[in-house]
Structure 1
Amino acid sequence: MKYVLGIDKGTSMIKSVIFDEAGSTVAVARRRVDVLHPQAGWHEEDPKRTWALCIETTREALATARLIGSDIAAIGITGHMGGAILVDAANLPVRNAIGWPDERAQSHLLKLEAEGALDGLFQISGNGLMPGNTALLLGWLAVHDPDSTARAATFLCAKDYLRLRLTGVAAIDPSDVSFVPGDIDGRTFSAELMRACGAEAWLERLPAIVASEKIAGHLQPEAAELTGLMEGTPVITGLGDGAAAALGIGALASGSAFTVLGTSCLNSLVLDGPHRAPHGLGFLFAMPLDQYVRILPNTSGTMTMDWFLERFGGPQHADGSWDFNAMEMAAAAIPPGAGGVLLLPYINGAGVLAPFADPLARGAFFGMSVHTTRDHLLRAVYEALCYSTRDCFAAMPEAPTSLKLSGGGAQSPFWGQLFADVCGVPIEIPESAESGALGVALLAGVAVGMWPDLEAAVQRTSRVSARYEPDPVQTKIYDGWFGLYQALRSTYRNFSSQRAALMEQA
């Protein structure tokens, strides 16, 4: 039997996952990404450390599966989108990698907004800009780090740097080009948009665009020795995580709706064309098969839960890890509405991209009293991510009749049922918890003939492990709370600029 390897370089975690011909997970290895904050609002990584973690997880996955390198037929890579990794002519990084949550280019974005340029740029790209977009970061670096800009031969996204280390090939795929952002109709870079973001110096140094499903290169001897994989193993170009998840979940048909409950909560709808509604909001990414995925994200996602636990604590296992089963029992003991507490889950410093655009928006707890406990706040966190998902899909041009839920949080029966009750639609949980890694593994398998085409690969591997039906009584209760949630986020938006001005003065 042959196997495929999917590598998923996420914002907070890097994973190497081995799948068999049925799409079943044979082994998975994870490491937490080392995030650096050299200045307030900066989000960086040491690319050498990230590559070392990729080596560790790949070797561990092979060992866990009791496989050798020659058992892996092909490799697919996905990664978080946006950000920028600058490499020189020798393919070496010239500075730390910058991640999409980075805030340093926010002043550039606000300047474009003040100039009234955002509508025109959205029309080109189908993407609402955020500070962590690659083009904005390149523009910032051109002004504030001209030395790195001068030494760089090109820029890459997260997955592309790992593929460079594996194969020596520097390239980018249409999905990551979408979030630079680029020309969504042409599925290529946009010179106009690069110039608007101050990144015109990069127009002569753009990475080659190679189709996501194509074999971009083969494993080089040094990488093979380090990872335990076989020299010459084919490596496809790959996909950004927002698009890869659609394939892994089995959402190929136009109109398929899914949410990836990850660091950023990606509320997604598969489309047969580059349809931009609602205007000015969210993301639009190119996918294989000439399809697109429209995403209205909650940029805070499970980052909100991580923040809450870091600040307020929670039940832990003996080894210090969080006891999520105990947390869910505590949250389940609180009635719907969290004792009157609502959370606006807008804690990401990059602001909000959907269902409204405001880079200055921030989160808030509302409705606390002397009777409020940590468990009330905890339940409010669980409910808030459900409200934000419903809020984003309500802004979509097409309302979903069911919703696939993927990501780490999707493995929670408590949360799955809560999503069904709050959103009022059936929730399906894909069997594979690693949808992004599976998505690129399927493309890699098709590239080497493990499956005849992508449709056949998805049909062979897409299975549902759980389904949650909405409880009509609970949904009616949550309709009222959701209405209050929408009223609150609209009210709090009015204070974003005032708050930011006061912070600037301070």
Structure 2
Amino acid sequence: MKYILAHDLGTSGNKATLFSENGKLIGSYVASYPTNYFNGTYAEQDAEDWWNAVCTTSRNLINSLEIDPEDIAVVSFSGQMMGCLCVDIDGNPLRKAIIWADQRAQKQVAQIEEHISQKDFYHIVGHRNTASYGIQKLMWVRDNEPDIYEQTYKTLNAKDFIVARLTGKFYTDYSDGNSNGCFDLVNLKWSDEIISYAGIDPDKLPELKPSTFVAGGVTKKAAEATGLAEGTPVVIGGGDGVTASVGAGSISPGKTYCSLGTSAWITTASEKPIFDEELRTVTWAHVVPGLYAPNGTMQTAGGAYSWVKNTICQAEIQQAEQTGTSPYDYMNAQIEQSPIGSNGVIFLPYMLGERAPRWDVHAKGSFIGLKPENTKGDMLRSVLEGVTMNLSIILDILRTQVDIDELMVIGGGAKGEIWRQIMADIYNAKVLVPNVLEEAGSMGAAVTGGVGVGLYKDFDVIDQFIQVNSVQTPNPEAVLAYGPVKELFDSCYYGLKDVFVKMA
């Protein structure tokens, strides 16, 4: 039996997952690491913590499962995107990694805007010019830490650093390259135009390769640190938001999924980038060759439902503690008693501002339309409806160029049947629920690795990894009833848009 070891380097930790070659999940192990948030907009991590987490999780999986390291056919990766880690020629970090959540590079965004409009930037990269991306962060290092910039041999994302530690080679894949903000999305290469506007030395960027590329074998030194066999093939994998597309079955045009966690997104697959005239959605380079992953991500989805649980559902939390169940069970029971439209209550889920589709840093979370007769159930239902209506705007943008009549839903939010039905009715689409809700990134990395070393012929093998457990179908009457509610939701946001600016 051959195995695939997939590492998913997230924001809070690394999850190592072992799969058999026939798609069975054998086991997983998590090692956490801290993030240093400071100066209001700064967010950094120590890349050595990433490496230690990969070493710890690899050794623990191999030892606890009593796996012969020689039976591991490939190691592959999914990793947090939009970062900037400066390393020297030996791959040693020169400073802490500036991660995706960091927003310090506002001046550098403005420097690029002096040369190119947001619209033109978007049509090259598939994304807006913002402080979230890697090139702007590298510009900040150049402008504020020139000694570090001069010493920088390459700038890497999380998984690329681990690949370098394992193999001694410096690569990134197209999806993570895309997250650097200086990537020519159509031609799959670094954009000379944007690099020139940024004033960055292009030699400091790693070589671009497909996600299935074998970077090399595990070196003797890395084998001793991780417990892997020397020479084990290392496939570079992809950025976590895109490997999840594979793990959710979005591997051919029109295959769409919704990830519903603390934040949420809807992603489809297409043969060409989807450029929205209002720049509301983005497009990633897919890990599947020849495809793209058009996407819209919102800031606070399950996070809003968790917030409302912690603030106004103390009784439900106490009940759950007494009965050994989940507070969400009691919350969902009240939601079922509230009708479509939550008895006139609208919730705007913009508790951390908003990315897609609003791109409004000033937007706020809001309950609108409260009356004396409203119940807690109405408020709870309005949260689920508000999140879903925001996501439905993203879905409708994607539908302008892709036919979508069903989508897979993954993440913790997919556990509740009432929320899945609300999604089916608001989206007017079948909502498919897979057997595994929270392993999409790991599964995507595993399949990418398997394809890379020839263990699998193509990405269709994902059907061995996931099965559909249930399907929610839209209720035609509910679909019709939600039409005016969606219009009201939009009106509430635009009616308060200027108020949010004043509140800021």
- 365, 382, 385: which one pairs with 2:384? 382
Residue matched to 1:408: 412
Pairwise CA distance, 1:461: 3.3
Residue matched to 2:193: 192
Pairwise CA distance, 1:294: 0.7
Q: Which moved more, 1:120-129 or 1:46-55?
A: 46-55
* Matches of 2:154 and 2:87, distance apart in 1: 6
Residue matched to 1:119: 119
* Matches of 1:113 and 1:293, distance apart in 2: 26
* Matches of 2:179 and 2:25, distance apart in 1: 29
Residue matched to 1:444: 449
* Matches of 2:313 and 2:228, distance apart in 1: 41
Secondary structure in 1 aligned to 2:93?
coil
Tell me, which stretches of 5 or more residues in structure 2 are unaligned? Answer: none
* Structure-2 change in CA distance of 1:6 and 1:393 (3 Å): same
Q: Which moved more, 1:368-377 or 1:73-82?
A: 368-377
Q: Which moved more, 1:364-373 or 1:234-243?
A: 364-373
Say if 1:278 and 1:395, in contact at 8 Å, map to a contact too. no
Residue matched to 1:420: 424
* Matches of 1:105 and 1:312, distance apart in 2: 37
Percent identity of paired positions between Structure 1 and Structure 2: 27
Secondary structure in 2 aligned to 1:421?
helix
Residue matched to 1:503: none
Secondary structure in 1 aligned to 2:269?
strand
* Matches of 1:161 and 1:313, distance apart in 2: 43
Residue matched to 2:133: 133
Q: Which moved more, 1:263-272 or 1:410-419?
A: 410-419
Q: Which amino acid aligns with 1:413?
A: E
* Structure-2 change in CA distance of 1:87 and 1:450 (3 Å): same
* Structure-2 change in CA distance of 1:61 and 1:146 (3 Å): same
Residue matched to 2:397: 395
* Structure-2 change in CA distance of 1:224 and 1:307 (3 Å): farther
Residue matched to 2:35: 35
* Matches of 1:344 and 1:116, distance apart in 2: 33
Pairwise CA distance, 1:291: 1.0
TM-score, normalised via structure 1 length: 0.87
Say if 2:274 and 2:282, in contact at 8 Å, map to a contact too. no
Q: Which moved more, 1:306-315 or 1:419-428?
A: 306-315
Say if 1:341 and 1:365, in contact at 8 Å, map to a contact too. yes
* Matches of 1:171 and 1:44, distance apart in 2: 22
* Matches of 1:2 and 1:407, distance apart in 2: 28
Pairwise CA distance, 1:306: 5.2
Number of residue pairs aligned between Structure 1 and Structure 2: 495
- Structure 1 residues 57-106: Cα deviation after superposition (integer angstroms, max 9, x where no partner): 33444455443423321111011221212222231222222222222223
1:345-494 equivalences under 5 Å are: 345-348=349-352, 351-368=353-370, 377-396=379-398, 397=400, 398-433=402-437, 434-455=439-460, 457-494=461-498
Q: Which amino acid aligns with 1:431?
A: N
Residue matched to 1:50: 50
Say if 1:128 and 1:353, in contact at 8 Å, map to a contact too. no
Residue matched to 2:106: 106
TM-score, normalised via structure 2 length: 0.88
Pairwise CA distance, 1:127: 1.4
Residue matched to 1:298: 298
- Structure 1 residues 154-190: Cα deviation after superposition (integer angstroms, max 9, x where no partner): 1111221222233332211011112212111111111
Alignment of 1:226 with 2:225, yes or no, is yes
* Structure-2 change in CA distance of 1:306 and 1:173 (3 Å): farther
Residue matched to 1:237: 236
Pairwise CA distance, 1:5: 1.5
* Matches of 1:3 and 1:46, distance apart in 2: 30
Q: Which amino acid aligns with 2:386?
A: A
Residue matched to 2:266: 267
Secondary structure in 2 aligned to 1:271?
coil
Alignment of 1:215 with 2:220, yes or no, is no
* Matches of 2:52 and 2:265, distance apart in 1: 28
* Structure-2 change in CA distance of 1:381 and 1:6 (3 Å): farther
Q: Which amino acid aligns with 1:39?
A: N
* Structure-2 change in CA distance of 1:444 and 1:356 (3 Å): same
* Matches of 2:110 and 2:495, distance apart in 1: 21
Secondary structure in 2 aligned to 1:37?
strand
* Structure-2 change in CA distance of 1:189 and 1:462 (3 Å): same
Q: CA RMSD in A?
A: 3.0
Pairwise CA distance, 1:338: 4.3
* Structure-2 change in CA distance of 1:480 and 1:38 (3 Å): same
Secondary structure in 2 aligned to 1:50?
helix
- Structure 1 residues 394-427: Cα deviation after superposition (integer angstroms, max 9, x where no partner): 1222352111112233233333223212222110
Residue matched to 1:94: 94
Pairwise CA distance, 1:326: 4.8
* Matches of 1:414 and 1:30, distance apart in 2: 31
* Matches of 2:340 and 2:128, distance apart in 1: 33
* Structure-2 change in CA distance of 1:450 and 1:16 (3 Å): same
Q: Which moved more, 1:24-33 or 1:37-46?
A: 24-33
* Matches of 2:311 and 2:434, distance apart in 1: 32
* Matches of 1:56 and 1:374, distance apart in 2: 45
* Matches of 1:491 and 1:33, distance apart in 2: 42
Q: Which moved more, 1:160-169 or 1:376-385?
A: 376-385
Pairwise CA distance, 1:18: 1.5
* Matches of 1:109 and 1:302, distance apart in 2: 30
* Matches of 2:148 and 2:257, distance apart in 1: 39
Say if 2:334 and 2:376, in contact at 8 Å, map to a contact too. no
* Matches of 1:480 and 1:459, distance apart in 2: 38
- Structure 1 residues 284-306: Cα deviation after superposition (integer angstroms, max 9, x where no partner): 12223211111122133444445
Q: Which amino acid aligns with 2:472?
A: Y
Secondary structure in 1 aligned to 2:482?
helix
Residue matched to 1:252: 251
Say if 1:109 and 1:130, in contact at 8 Å, map to a contact too. yes
Alignment of 1:277 with 2:282, yes or no, is no
Secondary structure in 1 aligned to 2:470?
strand
Residue matched to 1:203: 202
* Matches of 2:364 and 2:133, distance apart in 1: 19
